[in-house]
A and B are shown apart, each in its own frame.
Chain A
Amino acid sequence: EAAVTQSPRSKVAVTGGKVTLSCHQTNNHDYMYWYRQDTGHGLRLIHYSYVADSTEKGDIPDGYKASRPSQENFSLILELASLSQTAVYFCASSDNYAEQFFGPGTRLTVL
């Protein structure tokens, strides 16, 4: 049974529109992360959180917001989607430095 799930699995959005990507984990982990994956760049950290109701900026936070309403849920929000935000987005959770558990990803296309 998948411990980190993401929804939707794919989405097409229009430029300037609002997009919300959702992540749910059943690992009982404190830490959650949002990454984007682009060809040639690997995974880059957008936002992360170590406790509910608190989020922190990662390495590439511009154009993104995050929300952690509970330990289990972590959302990524694109208030004004742009073409450059077309990518695959991964959510992950962890409870220590040793291993992050990733979800299956959301493929976002902005037109």
Chain B
Amino acid sequence: QQQVRQSPQSLTVWEGETAILNCSYENSAFDYFPWYQQFPGEGPALLISILSVSNKKEDGRFTIFFNKREKKLSLHIADSQPGDSATYFCAASPIASSSFSKLVFGQGTSLSVVP
């Protein structure tokens, strides 16, 4: 059972375009949503995250849009650069009262930015 789903599986955009990566989830208890970026041969690294109390989070060229009612979120990468070519994972977890982070990951979106 895939609790976190991502689409598309792969995406190709031209340099300078905005790439849009989609994510949806099923568990209403999820309230923390990080996006991780992974380059080939490396481990994932946190890129940007959002809490369910917010509907938008920006960090430079990266923006998360969050719709709690529809259980959907998206990552927008503005002015895409070839260096952004990587796999992007959407993840989710309930924060609860502990500091433990049991993340559920989506299957990833492979982004290619063509010069």
- The answer to whether A and B assemble together is yes
- Interface residue ranges, A against B (CB under 8 Å): 4, 30-31, 35, 40-45, 48, 50, 58, 90, 92, 94-100, 102-105
Sample 24 A-B pairs with CB under 8 A, ordered by A number: A31-B99, A31-B100, A42-B6, A42-B89, A42-B107, A42-B108, A43-B89, A44-B105, A45-B103, A58-B102, A94-B101, A95-B99, A97-B95, A97-B99, A98-B34, A98-B101, A99-B34, A99-B46, A99-B101, A100-B103, A102-B43, A102-B44, A105-B42, A105-B43
| A103/B95 contact (C-beta < 8 A), A31-B100, A31-B101, A42-B108 known | no
CB-CB under 8 A for A102 and B45, given A31-B100, A94-B101, A97-B101? yes
Least Cβ–Cβ distance between B57 and chain A, in angstroms: 13
**Inside 8 A of B107's CB, which chain A residues have their CB?**
40-42
| Contact across chains for B42 and A104 when beta carbons are under 8 A apart | yes
Whether A90 lies near B101 (C-beta < 8 A) is no
Residues on A with C-beta less than 8 A from B32 are 97-98
- Taking CB atoms, residues of chain B closer than 8 Å to A97 are 32, 93, 95, 98-101
How far, in angstroms, from A45 to B106 measured CA to CA in the complex? 12
